[in-house]
Structure 1
């Protein structure tokens, strides 16, 4: 059969062999694939398909579809496993699939159907008009449904997928387990996020994250439990500039890496054993993490919203930013805390913000509880204190506390031993107030009043209070006295 095929009703393919689609198919209708035994339809770009309604793989009889590089089907929906007891399977090795309505894997009862995405792109492009996971309500546009009345398994090992959201176990508790396996590639979700049927109350599902990237093209949330399997390494959660909020328990032997400049918020006591690495953006945890945690340079860790205790069980390595909050209400002092740490490796920046009443001498806050501390913070950004008070951080890497203390009396800057280099004299020293102006004055007679001394140099103290100036040595000067004053 040669030439294009126009479908405005339903076109059936019923083959027992593997065959390549060689006819372009267009129209407003449906295409049903029946390939019992070893049969399969192969789309390799030899011809294209663009239909307004359903591409059904396994309609009444088993069906199999293989999508390869060059293929570019555009369909209203893909249904895999349609009519009770009928199974379907799709393998996408490449190509670009566009779905303008929704996608269903494991549609009808008494079947287990699958979709394997190993390469190419899968684009579910529409937007839902209502609640996407409500019982007795029609499936919504823009959603990948894994298991509706039947059982669905969606596995991704490569390629890129995008959808408004994913719903597992769509209409009711099924006999088998609907499964989303992410083992490679990238799956980006929108506002519908990851849900289960019956408004997230259905529980016969599995979400296995073992490699690949679960991302966001808009902010999304999920209350579902997920397993970090580590099958192909740790999963990456890429927020881009958005927010991903997860409150279901994360368990399993694997770990996760946070990327993207946005916020990943974890709530609950998570038991996954692998590392949590914050490479970019902010990780906010309200609850507990079982594995080691590392915050890389430029990234941020926050222990929840408000005054929260973050419980860890292993090491905490800080090279980025750690944001903590303290509060005073009358005589009651509270703070964010990080507890349960084995060894806390301090580095990066500790940023502490204060709310409530004004702080006073003696107010102390216990921020960290660790078996051991190593290193020191590169910088401290602590709340401003009233005149005459200072922060005592001497025990910060001993027992995790900071305390408000009386300000120390000012000490003058001190010269180090002068150094002669040729006809120049290098004067340097320490003890200045970082950033303040200073002047170097000179005189030949030590008995002269200070107002008669000559200003020979000026500058600002460094961040560590240091200073240095190079002055010429004049032949006619037999002796010279120097003093540093600020301001």
Structure 2
């Protein structure tokens, strides 16, 4: 069927009446406008169980006064493709194309339990707070919002129910509504790589699943007490108010990144592979999470500094909680401190605070690579080189592409010397990186320039040979120092407490 206008509930009537339309599997409807309840006192009821409906212009459900109309979708597809030229929910602006209006002067209801709807926007009760409650109920299927106008509850006499199904973002958009989450259900919000804002409160006892690799930004104070999950690589939970859910879990690959103080009604779980990110821009401007229950942190706590250099003794509160569990790692690669200072995380599991303490260059090295407290004898990235030696070599002990084997010492032998050459970062000099040699792997002697006097080792240092701050050290060990008929071995050592 193709037409310019499709109306259900049209024409003048002496008494109120209702018109019905059923769209079934196999139907193919293409129209410019689709109005349901398009005359005073004339209600329309549409049930779509299958088929496809394409609307090039607009769709109004509950258009005229003194009528109540509804659209129920259990299957099939409804697609609106018009492009609005103004905000579709602004006073003094006429209804726009490309979207669905639920209640203009009448009462409109959209119930979706299956199928797919793609629309630029959904607006409830557009012209004024008219009689009746305009309602959107999503309990199945997919509702895709494809413009910056998103979902809007315009007036008080409206209701949005989420009881399952999926909302997909096709643009940066708001869910400018107060959804009620139905008990025993989980509604998915697929950010689609975009930013979805939630400026108003979510309530109820149902759950939320945030996915899609984009950002879900909370600026409303929600009271919903179901569970919530944030999942998918790059999916970010952020904001400044209260997140829906009495038990919120940030799954591997996702992150929670408050823009000020982001509160949680109950437990906050940061799983292994997930991250909790805090930004510090002044002694008092610190982003933080506040959990009314337990904070379980087994992921990474990542801290960044911007436009601010902390000083010795400063303390920053990045998390509040009633109890704590877990063994988080810390990443201070975005919060590098001046020499002589380092980050302390010793009280984080007690009070959610991190602080600035006197430290050394090795501790700063660990902090700058997000492995604070790992230890010099640990191989954090599994490349066969322990962290302390990576410190000497100027390597990267953690993260993707951190294999430092190409920086390993090199060896050559000639008639007189066993030559051992290694990279030495200037920051490591105070820890005495040096070469040891021996005729077996059990006994070792320090290679010291000029010793032994009768057959001395030669140590030569070429500053910044490998670039600023990284010297080349060449250690020439006389072959005659090997045991008679034995071999000569060498290794790099460093003394890090």
Q: TM-score normalised to the size of structure 2?
A: 0.73
Contact 1:132 1:140 (C-alpha < 8 Å) held by counterparts: yes
Q: Using a 3 Å threshold, how does the CA distance of structure 1 residues 151 and 333 change in structure 2: closer, same or farther? A: closer
Q: Which runs of 5+ in 1 are unaligned?
A: 1-48, 416-427, 456-473
Answering whether residue 204 of structure 2 is matched by residue 252 of structure 1, we say yes
Mapped partners of 1:132, 1:166: distance in 2: 9
**Bigger fraction of residues in helix:** 2
Mapped partners of 1:136, 1:410: distance in 2: 65
**Bigger fraction of residues in strand:** 1
Mapped partners of 2:331, 2:132: distance in 1: 54
Q: Give the root-mean-square deviation of aligned CA atoms.
A: 3.0
Question: The residue matched to 1:108 in structure 2 has which SS?
Answer: coil
Q: Look up the match of 1:462.
A: none
Q: Look up the match of 2:438.
A: 443
Q: Look up the match of 1:325.
A: 279
Answering whether residue 120 of structure 2 is matched by residue 164 of structure 1, we say yes
Mapped partners of 1:379, 1:414: distance in 2: 18
Mapped partners of 1:116, 1:414: distance in 2: 65
Answering whether residue 402 of structure 2 is matched by residue 402 of structure 1, we say no
Q: CA deviation at 1:414?
A: 7.4
Q: CA deviation at 1:311?
A: 2.1
Answering whether residue 266 of structure 2 is matched by residue 314 of structure 1, we say yes
Q: Using a 3 Å threshold, how does the CA distance of structure 1 residues 336 and 433 change in structure 2: closer, same or farther? A: farther
Q: CA deviation at 1:130?
A: 2.7
**1:456-467 equivalent positions in 2, closer than 5 A:** none
**1:273-292 equivalent positions in 2, closer than 5 A:** 273-280=225-232, 281-289=235-243, 291-292=246-247
Q: Which runs of 5+ in 2 are unaligned?
A: 364-374, 379-383, 394-407, 410-434, 450-455, 460-481
Contact 1:325 1:335 (C-alpha < 8 Å) held by counterparts: yes
Mapped partners of 1:478, 1:362: distance in 2: 55
Q: Look up the match of 1:191.
A: 148
Contact 1:147 1:153 (C-alpha < 8 Å) held by counterparts: yes
Mean CA deviation greater in 136-145 or 252-261: 136-145
Answering whether residue 55 of structure 2 is matched by residue 99 of structure 1, we say yes
Q: Look up the match of 2:169.
A: 216
Q: CA deviation at 1:55?
A: 3.3
Q: Look up the match of 1:226.
A: 179
Answering whether residue 13 of structure 2 is matched by residue 69 of structure 1, we say no
Q: Look up the match of 1:377.
A: 328
Q: CA deviation at 1:483?
A: 6.0
Mapped partners of 2:263, 2:109: distance in 1: 35
Q: Using a 3 Å threshold, how does the CA distance of structure 1 residues 266 and 248 change in structure 2: closer, same or farther? A: same
Contact 1:72 1:97 (C-alpha < 8 Å) held by counterparts: yes
Q: Using a 3 Å threshold, how does the CA distance of structure 1 residues 392 and 63 change in structure 2: closer, same or farther? A: same
Q: Using a 3 Å threshold, how does the CA distance of structure 1 residues 334 and 83 change in structure 2: closer, same or farther? A: closer
Mapped partners of 2:446, 2:123: distance in 1: 86
Q: CA deviation at 1:372?
A: 1.7
Q: Look up the match of 1:420.
A: none
Q: CA deviation at 1:381?
A: 3.0
Mapped partners of 1:258, 1:398: distance in 2: 29
Mapped partners of 2:490, 2:211: distance in 1: 55
Mapped partners of 1:446, 1:204: distance in 2: 84
Question: The residue matched to 1:432 in structure 2 has which SS?
Answer: helix
Q: CA deviation at 1:398?
A: 2.1
Q: Look up the match of 2:156.
A: 203
Contact 2:5 2:31 (C-alpha < 8 Å) held by counterparts: yes
Q: CA deviation at 1:476?
A: 6.9
Contact 2:437 2:445 (C-alpha < 8 Å) held by counterparts: no
Q: Using a 3 Å threshold, how does the CA distance of structure 1 residues 301 and 477 change in structure 2: closer, same or farther? A: farther
Q: Look up the match of 2:343.
A: 391
Q: Using a 3 Å threshold, how does the CA distance of structure 1 residues 145 and 431 change in structure 2: closer, same or farther? A: closer
Q: Using a 3 Å threshold, how does the CA distance of structure 1 residues 442 and 69 change in structure 2: closer, same or farther? A: same
Mapped partners of 2:123, 2:227: distance in 1: 28
Q: CA deviation at 1:286?
A: 1.0
